[in-house]
Amino acid sequence: MKKVIGVLILIVLMFANISLAAYPEDLEDIEDVNYDDLIQLISQESMDESKMIQDDVYEMGQEVVIDKIVDGNIYVMAQDVKIDGANVFGNVFVMAERVEIVNSQIGGSVFAMGETINLSGSMNDVYAVGNKVNFSQDCSVWRSARVSAGTVDISGRIERDFYGFAETLNIAETAKIVGKLNYSSEKEGTISENAQIGDIAFEQARPNNTYQKGVGDYVFDFITIIVRTLIVALIIVFLVRKFKNLYTRENGVSEYLKSIGKGIGVLIVVPVISVLLMISLIGSGLGVSLLAIYIVIAYLATSIFAVEVAYRFEKENKGKIIGIAILVSIIVKAISFIPTIGGTIVFLTSLIGLGTLFDMIFKKVKNEAIDGE
């Protein structure tokens, strides 16, 4: 279970459809510097080997502080995360209530989700979703920033473009956006006349007059997903004995991509077959039944996905498998409330769930282990 957070955040990365280029040292030569150049620049710096980690970092806890040289990526889920004075060769993926990146060099990009996100130091691209996102005066984003937040404060430097949605946007006089400021909001942002901005594109967002959920609605949503995942997990764990041998932890990314493809196939093909059967003379009843089963399966797809993730980290202990599956389903449900990207992430986890179901029915597993035999 120690790397479950890494897999979950990697799934978010898979759904982002983004470019991961490294930042340049020389702003005037921004197009000519690549990731290999960055590795060389960092490797030439004097380093304390006792503070260097030559691997990816996976952390989960109440409070996480990273202040080392990391020759790899960072994956963190915690209540409070602080990356302080770190030098990171790769990318940073973090989900926390409070995220702080202080005086750090991030060779790759920052992917952050949290209540409050404060950024300083240098980094490549920034992808942030939160209630408050702050680019401090000491923050340098070498490429572009993409943000969805309640409040966005920009005092630092962005070398290309800013894309975002914000209820409140504040741009200080020290801010510099070399490219274009693209943002949407219900009201125009507060932009200092002294701020240096290449161009501004503002889109008026429509007021949100939709029904607002109360606390009781959210509690009911989480209880529903917990019960649903518990039922699905119990069925798979105790009745589908070959499931634990369908996937491996090592082939996670490639298998997820294959599952997405299979899920798209199921999503398209099954309704078509159902309609064809319903309009035929002899298969109308079967078509209706198949469509009903399809709707139920689509409803359960995210829970199937949660069980699939659990099996990547625990094969034998049924209680742990069920517990991890419930935890994953809660995380996915929480992600669904994130503006802009939440719905996309949940949709794609559903595709993985449909692809997993396809494998569960049709994929042959060699040397199948039968519990109790």
Average confidence (pLDDT) over 299-325: 87
pLDDT at 39: 45
311 pLDDT more than 60: yes
37 pLDDT more than 60: no
For the ranges 37-51, 106-120, 144-158, 272-286, the lowest mean pLDDT is seen at 37-51
* Pairwise CA distance, residues 293 & 305, whole Å: 18
Residue, of 209 and 56, whose pLDDT is higher: 56
* Pairwise CA distance, residues 146 & 183, whole Å: 10
Residue, of 218 and 190, whose pLDDT is higher: 190
Residue, of 161 and 206, whose pLDDT is higher: 161
- Cross-strand bridge partners of residue 148: 129, 165
pLDDT at 21: 33
pLDDT digits 0-9 by tens, 88-142: 999 998 888 899 999 999 999 898 888 899 999 999 999 998 889 999 999 999 9
25 pLDDT more than 60: no
The 10 Å CB-count burial string (b at 16+, else e) for 57-92 is: bbbbeeebebebbbbebbbbbbebbbbeebbbbbbb
Average confidence (pLDDT) over 264-281: 78
* Pairwise CA distance, residues 89 & 45, whole Å: 12
Share above pLDDT 90 across residues of the chain, in percent, rounded to a whole number: 26
Share above pLDDT 70 across residues of the chain, in percent, rounded to a whole number: 77
User: What ranges do the domains of the chain cover?
Assistant: 4-204, 215-362
Give how far the C-alpha of residue 245 lies from the chain's centroid of Cα atoms, to the nearest Å.
26
* Pairwise CA distance, residues 190 & 171, whole Å: 6
Average confidence (pLDDT) over 212-220: 69
**How many residues are listed for the chain in this entry?**
373
Residue, of 271 and 23, whose pLDDT is higher: 271
Give me 339's structure tokens.
């503006």
pLDDT at 215: 66
Band (pLDDT 50/70/90 cuts) for residue 293 is confident
Band (pLDDT 50/70/90 cuts) for residue 284 is low
372 pLDDT more than 60: no
Instruction: Single out the residue of 290, 293, 296 nearest to residue 277, CA to CA.
Output: 290
Number of H helices, E strands in the chain: 7, 14
pLDDT at 283: 65
Which single residue is written with the structure tokens 């590795």?
39
pLDDT at 291: 76
* Pairwise CA distance, residues 51 & 113, whole Å: 27
Residue, of 247 and 180, whose pLDDT is higher: 180
pLDDT at 282: 66
Residue, of 280 and 135, whose pLDDT is higher: 135
Residue, of 29 and 269, whose pLDDT is higher: 269
CB atoms within 10 A of CB 28: 6
CB 89 within 8 A of CB 68: no
